[in-house]
């Protein structure tokens, strides 16, 4: 049995969570730990690097490695696309296009995209269903400057999110969560009362520095996103 870098991680983690090594305190250096575990420094380095990545310790050249004084909490949320999400609930997924219109992008959208110039955009409103009941409203704007092909697609069968993933699978994005009150329109589409508290996910997406799409996802009442860490 060789020493595994995981053993070292676990050892260090245990000493930290047990309080043997207090927050702010220096952790033994790599050479000492390597000697203690009778392994190569590279192995200790891997262990420490991952612990730093996880936010448990903080490393600085020459200064050494120390236990974070205030632990970092950076939960990672898995964001599946709607169809997967619905299917994971054991429900049958359904999709309906509500509205589709191409035209000049409104000013707020240009601002959202960080643009000065006038561009055309495709505006789509769709409804995602779980077992025929409304699950989520997708209110999306696609830049026709960046993706002219979008205009050829009528989006009556497949949702714009799945189409986009097939066209630009990898991109940069900014995502945010908030709570909004249902307006009359959203309430009608989701089958809830106006004023109900709804969970809103907003996402702006770029590809090679160019704005691609902005979407507002309004989930049915009671929606919750969860992460463990």
Partner DNA sequence: GGAGGCGATATGATCAGACATATCGCCGAT
Partner DNA sequence: ATCGGCGATATGTCTGATCATATCGCCTCC
* Residues within the interface to DNA (CB under 7 A): 2-6, 27, 29-31, 38-43, 45-46, 48-49, 52, 59-65
CB closer to DNA, 1 vs 18: 1
**CB atoms inside a 10 Å sphere around CB 140:** 22
Choose from its own copies, DNA, none: what does 169 bind? Cβ within 5-8 Å by kind: its own copies
Choose from DNA, its own copies, none: what does 112 bind? Cβ within 5-8 Å by kind: none
CB closer to DNA, 31 vs 194: 31
Choose from DNA, its own copies, none: what does 116 bind? Cβ within 5-8 Å by kind: none
SS3 state at 195 = coil
- CA separation for the pair 60, 55 (Å, rounded): 13
Choose from its own copies, DNA, none: what does 179 bind? Cβ within 5-8 Å by kind: its own copies
Closest to 103 measured CA to CA, from 90, 77, 121: 121
Burial of 161 (0-12, 13-18, 19+ CB in 10 A): buried
Choose from DNA, its own copies, none: what does 70 bind? Cβ within 5-8 Å by kind: its own copies
Cα of 133 vs its chain's centroid, Å: 25
CB of 175 to DNA, least distance (A): 27
CB half-sphere exposure, 91, CA atoms < 13 A: 17
Q: What is the dihedral of CA 77, 80, 81, 82, to 10 degrees?
A: -90
**CB atoms inside a 10 Å sphere around CB 48:** 23
Give the interface with its own copies as residue ranges (CB under 8 A): 16-17, 23, 56, 68, 70-79, 81, 165, 169-181, 195-200, 207-208, 221-229
CB of 28 to its own copies, least distance (A): 18
CB of 84 to its own copies, least distance (A): 8
């Amino acid at each position: 049995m060789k020493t595994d870098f995981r053993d070292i991680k676990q050892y260090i983690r245990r000493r930290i969570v047990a309080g043997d090594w207090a927050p702010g305190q220096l952790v033994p250096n790599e050479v000492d730990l390597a000697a203690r575990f009778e392994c190569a420094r590279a192995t200790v380095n891997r262990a420490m690097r991952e612990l730093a990545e996880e936010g448990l310790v903080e490393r600085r050249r020459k200064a050494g490695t120390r236990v974070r004084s205030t632990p970092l909490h950076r939960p990672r949320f898995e964001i599946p696309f709607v169809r997967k999400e619905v299917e994971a609930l054991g429900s049958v997924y359904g999709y309906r296009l509500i509205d589709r219109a191409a035209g000049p992008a409104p000013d707020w959208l240009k601002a959202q995209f960080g643009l000065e110039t006038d561009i055309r955009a495709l505006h789509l409103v769709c409804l995602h269903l779980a077992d025929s009941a409304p699950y989520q409203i997708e209110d999306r704007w696609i830049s026709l400057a960046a993706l002219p092909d979008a205009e050829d697609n009528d989006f009556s069968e497949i949702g714009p999110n799945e189409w986009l993933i097939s066209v630009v699978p990898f991109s940069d994005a900014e995502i945010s969560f908030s709570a909004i009150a249902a307006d009359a329109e959203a309430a009608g589409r989701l089958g809830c009362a106006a004023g109900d508290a709804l969970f809103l996910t907003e996402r702006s997406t770029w590809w090679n520095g160019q704005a691609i799409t902005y979407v507002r996802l309004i989930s049915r009442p009671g929606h919750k996103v969860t992460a463990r860490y």
